[in-house]
Amino acid sequence: MMYEISQRFFFDAAHTLERQIEVEASRRIHGHTYDAEVAIQGEPDLSTGMVIDLGQLRLAIRQLRESLDHMFLDEVAGLGVPTLENLCAFIARSLGEQGFQVSRVAVWRERAGDRCEFRPV
Task: Look at the pTM and tell me if it is higher than 0.85.
Answer: yes
Q: What average pLDDT does this structure show over 18-26? A: 72
> Into how many domains does the chain fold?
1
Rounded Cα–Cα distance for residues 64 and 45 (Å) = 25
> In CATH, what number is assigned to the domain containing residue 8?
3.30.479.10
Please give the residue range of the domain that contains residue 85.
Answer: 3-118
Count of residues making up the chain: 121
Rounded Cα–Cα distance for residues 121 and 114 (Å) = 23
pLDDT tens-digit series, residues 38-53: 999 999 999 999 999 9
pLDDT tens-digit series, residues 61-119: 999 999 999 999 999 999 999 999 999 999 999 999 999 999 999 999 999 999 999 99
